[in-house]
Amino acid sequence: MADSALNTALRQFHAAADRAGLDDSQRVILTSFKTVFQTEFPVEMDDGSFRVFQGYRVLHNSALGPTKGGIRYSPNVTIDDVKALAMWMTWKCAVTGLPFGGAKGGVIVDPATLSQSALQNLTRRFTAEITPIIGPDKDIPAPDMGTNAQIMAWMMDTYSMSAGYTIPAVVTGKPVSLGGSEGRYEATGRGLMYILDEHLSDAGGVRGKTVAVHGLGNVGGVCARLLQQAGAHVQYICDKDTGIFRAEGVDADAAFAFIEAGGVLRDWDGAGERIAPSDVLLADVDVLVPAAVEHVLTGDNAGKVRARLILEGANGPTTPEADEVFQQRGITVIPDVVANAGGVTVSYFEWVQARQYLHWREAQVNEELRNVLIPAYRGIINRAMSTPDCTLREAAQWIGVERVVQATMLRGIYP
Ligand code: GLU
């Protein structure tokens, strides 16, 4: 049976803790969870019946600041996944240099099966349940898989109603007209492109490179679109049940527009051969971007991956077994905690703007995004290059863990 994401996160943590020289008590502190909140709550459906849903919000560590991380709506959410994702947010914020700790939330639901009004009821009730633990100085949710700007608007409104006044900084990823940041919708995909372009700068950047993008949601879709615009050949794309290959490049921009409008790739009539989504992972391309879910690259398929470079758009797409295979085969993995940090970075900008009642232009957002991501990426490259036998993931997690343990020691343990 496949290992859980939490086991993966813990194995990665201990590898980083070995590098950073953490003692046992520091390891116990950094692998503990500040708050693990679990709720079962009823929601009224359109036909007047009620259904009970399960939801979670996990705050991992707040040594560096208020906790930050998305909320996902998915039928596959488990408490262990949410813990793993919260822990990854801690290292992501730390390695990127943001003044946040890590958190994550989830509701076990397939949002595609709910009407807009049931989705709104569910979101408002879940927000009411987590209201005691979230807040602009405490814990700030954002979109993740299955959630979007509209859901953030309902969350912001519900939280504000209970306070009696509008508190835009309680969530990020809101609609721009409600205090959302310009560029937040594209931020994760744009960050992936900035980092890839920098990584390939000696080889002419992304222009002319062949790419396979696995997953066509907010992360994979925007990434594929921006790479296409920047002159890469996006030869492979897929959603949950349809893959498409075209040697001259799939029109990823049009395919993603079709999905944004509520479609699925099966119904899209653009050019390209239809293939299995899992074959996208084995594509013979320069760059593979896993941008769907955790654990798609495993000990079973890592030996068959043909790309020489993997850029992690999803959180935790690679198991430790696959990491070992990639290291042996000389395949470079640019790890999630820096590769996909564009989303939380622009979330940070959104939170800063909300707290100052300011609105930045998109050009400013994108420039500041680059100013945060490129030095973070460089720091990881330098750490890996100056350490024998150190992958980019080990370097990234090492820097993240080091910063969190330093903050913990400086603050001291209360009382
Ligand atoms: N869900 C995104 C992530 O995994 C963004 C989190 C945020 O913006 O707080 O990084």
Residue 163: partners with Cβ closer than 8 Å, 6 or more residues away: none
For residue 363, pLDDT beyond 60: yes
Q: Tell me which of 279, 312, 339 is where a domain ends.
A: 339
Give the pLDDT score at 361. 98
Give the pLDDT score at 164. 98
> Token digits for 284?
């013979």
How many Å lie between the centroid of ligand 1 and the Cα of residue 69?
5
Active site residue 104: yes
Contact 257, 179 (CB under 8 A): no
Give me the domain span that covers residue 143.
33-172
Q: Is the CB of 142 under 6 A from ligand 1?
A: yes
Give the pLDDT score at 274. 98
- Name the closest-CA residue to atom 10, ligand 1: 344
Residues 168 and 197 in one domain: no
For residue 58, pLDDT beyond 60: yes
The best mutation among 89, 90, 100 to test binding of ligand 1, ranked by most ligand atoms within 8 Å of the C-beta, falls on: 89
Residues 37 and 167 in one domain: yes
In a domain, 370, yes or no: no
Q: Is the CB of 120 under 6 A from ligand 1?
A: no
Residues 163 and 233 in one domain: no
Atom of ligand 1 nearest to the CA of 344: 8
For residue 1, pLDDT beyond 60: no
Span 333-359, pLDDT tens digits: 999 999 999 999 999 999 999 999 999
In a domain, 18, yes or no: no
What is the sign, positive or negative, of the torsion defined by CA atoms of 143, 231, 239, 394?
A: negative
Q: Is the CB of 67 under 6 A from ligand 1?
A: no
- Mean pLDDT across 220-237: 98
The best mutation among 58, 81, 144 to test binding of ligand 1, ranked by most ligand atoms within 8 Å of the C-beta, falls on: 144
- Mean pLDDT across 317-341: 98
- Using alpha carbons, list the distances in angstroms from residue 407 to 62, 94, 128, 138, 245: 10, 10, 32, 17, 47
Calculate ∠ Cα 93-94-96, nearest 5°.
Answer: 65
Percent of the chain with pLDDT over 70: 100
In a domain, 4, yes or no: no
Q: Pairing mode, if any, of strands 101-108 and 50-61?
A: antiparallel
In a domain, 153, yes or no: yes
Give the pLDDT score at 215. 98
For residue 78, pLDDT beyond 90: yes
Answering whether pTM is above 0.95, one says yes
Give the pLDDT score at 3. 82
Q: Is the CB of 252 under 6 A from ligand 1?
A: no
In a domain, 366, yes or no: no
Span 122-172, pLDDT tens digits: 999 999 999 999 999 999 999 999 999 999 999 999 999 999 999 999 999
How many Å lie between the centroid of ligand 1 and the Cα of residue 220?
14
Q: Is the CB of 68 under 6 A from ligand 1?
A: yes
Residues 311 and 193 in one domain: yes
Cα 216 to Cα 322: distance, rounded to the nearest angstrom: 23
In a domain, 288, yes or no: yes
Q: Tell me which of 271, 304, 339 is where a domain ends.
A: 339
In a domain, 251, yes or no: yes
Residue 305: partners with Cβ closer than 8 Å, 6 or more residues away: 281, 282, 288, 297, 326, 331
Specify the amino acid at residue 25: S
- Mean pLDDT across 362-367: 98
Residues 196 and 326 in one domain: yes
Q: Is the CB of 172 under 6 A from ligand 1?
A: yes
For residue 222, pLDDT beyond 50: yes
Domain containing residue 63: CATH number: 3.40.50.10860
Span 266-275, pLDDT tens digits: 999 999 999 9
Query: How many domains are there within the chain?
Result: 2
Q: Is the CB of 313 under 6 A from ligand 1?
A: no
- Minimum mean pLDDT among 1-10, 88-97, 126-135, 179-188: which range? 1-10
How many Å lie between the centroid of ligand 1 and the Cα of residue 97?
15
- Name the closest-CA residue to atom 9, ligand 1: 69
Residues 219 and 321 in one domain: yes
Atom of ligand 1 nearest to the CA of 143: 1
Domain containing residue 217: CATH number: 3.40.50.720
Residues 164 and 265 in one domain: no
Residue 75: partners with Cβ closer than 8 Å, 6 or more residues away: 108, 109, 110
Give the pLDDT score at 109. 98
How many Å lie between the centroid of ligand 1 and the Cα of residue 336?
11
How many Å lie between the centroid of ligand 1 and the Cα of residue 144?
6
Residues 158 and 286 in one domain: no
Atom of ligand 1 nearest to the CA of 172: 8
Residues 140 and 79 in one domain: yes
Percent of the chain with pLDDT over 90: 99
How many Å lie between the centroid of ligand 1 and the Cα of residue 107?
16
How many Å lie between the centroid of ligand 1 and the Cα of residue 99?
14
How many Å lie between the centroid of ligand 1 and the Cα of residue 349?
13
Cα 245 to Cα 74: distance, rounded to the nearest angstrom: 27
Q: Tell me which of 306, 339, 372 is where a domain ends.
A: 339
Span 263-301, pLDDT tens digits: 999 999 999 999 999 999 999 999 999 999 999 999 999
Atom of ligand 1 nearest to the CA of 100: 9
Q: Is the CB of 70 under 6 A from ligand 1?
A: yes
In a domain, 68, yes or no: yes
Residues 267 and 146 in one domain: no
* From 34, 83, 92, 104, the catalytic residue: 104
Q: Is the CB of 353 under 6 A from ligand 1?
A: no
**How sure is the predictor about 2, in pLDDT bands with cuts at 50, 70 and 90?**
low
Where does residue 215 fall: left (phi above 0), alpha (psi -120 to 50 degrees), or beta otherwise?
A: left
- Using alpha carbons, list the distances in angstroms from residue 139 to 11, 135, 179, 301, 401: 26, 5, 18, 37, 20
Residues 137 and 214 in one domain: no
Least Cα distance to 129 among 36, 38, 35, 33 occurs for: 38
Q: Is the CB of 286 under 6 A from ligand 1?
A: no
Residues 316 and 229 in one domain: yes
